Amino acid sequence: MIFLKYRVLKLELNKDRDVERIHGNGVNTLDIEPVERRYMLSGGSDGVIALYDLENFSRNVHYTCKAICSVGRNHPDVHKYSVETVQWYPHDTGMFTSSSFDKTLKIWDTNTLQPADVFHFEGTVYSHHMSPVATKHCLIAVGTKGPKVQLCDLKSGSCSHILQGHRQEILAVSWSPRYEYILATASADSKVKLWDIRRASGCLITLDQHNGEKSKASSEAANTAHNGRVNGLCFTRDGLHLLTTGTDDRMRLWNSSNGENTLVNYGKVCNESRKGLKFTISHGCSPEFVFVPYGSTIAVYTVYSGELITMLRGHYNTVDCCVFQPNFQELYSGSRDCNILAWVPALREPLPDEDDEVVSHSQKNPAFQDAWSSGDEEG
Partner 1 sequence: MSRKRPRLVPETFGAKRRRGPGWSGEEPPGVESGSVLRALRELGELFPRRLFQDALPPVALKSQVYSLVPDRTAADRQLRELREQGKIRVIQLGFDSDAQGIVFTEDFRTKALESCRGQPFEGTVQRFLAVVLPACGDLSFQQDQMIQTFGFRDCEITQLVNAGVLTVRDAGSWWLSVPGAGRFVKYFVKGRQAVLGMVRKSKYRELSLSELLGRRAPLSVRLGLPYHVHDLIGGQLLDIVPTTSGTLLRLPET
Q: Which is nearer to partner 1, 49 or 285 (CB)?
A: 285
Angle made by CA atoms 91, 144, 39, in degrees to the nearest 5: 30
The residue from 132, 146, 295, 326 that contacts partner 1 (CB under 8 A) is 295
Rounded distance between C-alpha atoms, residue 73 and residue 150, angstroms: 28
Rounded distance between C-alpha atoms, residue 145 and residue 147, angstroms: 7
Residue 118 is a binding residue for partner 1 (CB under 8 A): no
Residue 113 is a binding residue for partner 1 (CB under 8 A): no
**Which strands form 125-130's sheet, in the order they lie side by side?**
125-130, 139-144, 149-153, 158-163
Residues 6+ apart with CB under 8 A from 84: 28, 29, 43, 99, 100, 101, 125, 126, 127, 275, 276
Residue 379 is a binding residue for partner 1 (CB under 8 A): no
Q: Which is nearer to partner 1, 202 or 267 (CB)?
A: 267
The residue from 25, 265, 317, 369 that contacts partner 1 (CB under 8 A) is 265
Residue 267 is a binding residue for partner 1 (CB under 8 A): yes
Residue 255 is a binding residue for partner 1 (CB under 8 A): no
Residue 61 backbone phi and psi in degrees, to 5: -75, -40
From the CB of residue 219, how many other CB atoms can be counted at a distance below 10 Å? 7
Closest distance to partner 1 from the beta carbon of 339 (Å): 19
Q: Which of the 8 DSSP states describes residue 136?
A: S
Rounded distance between C-alpha atoms, residue 335 and residue 56, angstroms: 23
The residue from 69, 162, 222, 346 that contacts partner 1 (CB under 8 A) is 346
Tell me the CA end-to-end span of the chain in Å, nearest whole number: 24
Residue 291 is a binding residue for partner 1 (CB under 8 A): no
Residue 252 is a binding residue for partner 1 (CB under 8 A): no
Segment 208 to 227, residues that bind partner 1, using CB under 8 A? 213-219, 227
- Which residue stretch of 189-197, 198-206, 273-281, 344-352 sits at the interface with partner 1 (rule: CB under 8 A)? 344-352
Q: Which of the 8 DSSP states describes residue 14?
A: -
Rounded distance between C-alpha atoms, residue 214 and residue 217, angstroms: 7
Contact present, 129 and 90 (Cβ < 8 Å): no
Q: Which is nearer to partner 1, 118 or 351 (CB)?
A: 351
Q: Which is nearer to partner 1, 77 or 355 (CB)?
A: 355
Collapsing DSSP to helix, strand or coil, 349 comes out as: coil
Residue 111 is a binding residue for partner 1 (CB under 8 A): no
Q: How many CA atoms lie within 13 A of 310 on its CB side?
A: 9
Residue 264 is a binding residue for partner 1 (CB under 8 A): yes
Q: Give the count of residues interacting with partner 1 (CB under 8 A).
A: 34
Q: Which is nearer to partner 1, 6 or 368 (CB)?
A: 6
Residue 10 is a binding residue for partner 1 (CB under 8 A): yes
Q: Which is nearer to partner 1, 162 or 263 (CB)?
A: 263
Minimal CA–CA distance to 47: which of 122, 121, 123, 104? 104
Q: Which is nearer to partner 1, 154 or 308 (CB)?
A: 308
Segment 301 to 340, residues that bind partner 1, using CB under 8 A? 305-310
Closest distance to partner 1 from the beta carbon of 333 (Å): 17
Closest distance to partner 1 from the beta carbon of 129 (Å): 29
The residue from 88, 266, 279, 343 that contacts partner 1 (CB under 8 A) is 266
Contact present, 33 and 88 (Cβ < 8 Å): yes
Residue 1 is a binding residue for partner 1 (CB under 8 A): no
Q: Which is nearer to partner 1, 64 or 261 (CB)?
A: 261
Exposure of 79 by Cβ count < 10 A (0-12 exposed, 13-18 middle, 19+ buried)?
buried
Contact present, 151 and 140 (Cβ < 8 Å): yes
Q: Which is nearer to partner 1, 116 or 308 (CB)?
A: 308
Q: Which is nearer to partner 1, 8 or 172 (CB)?
A: 8
Residues that bind partner 1 (CB under 8 A): 5-6, 9-10, 213-219, 227, 263-268, 270, 272, 295, 305-310, 346, 348-349, 351, 354, 356-357
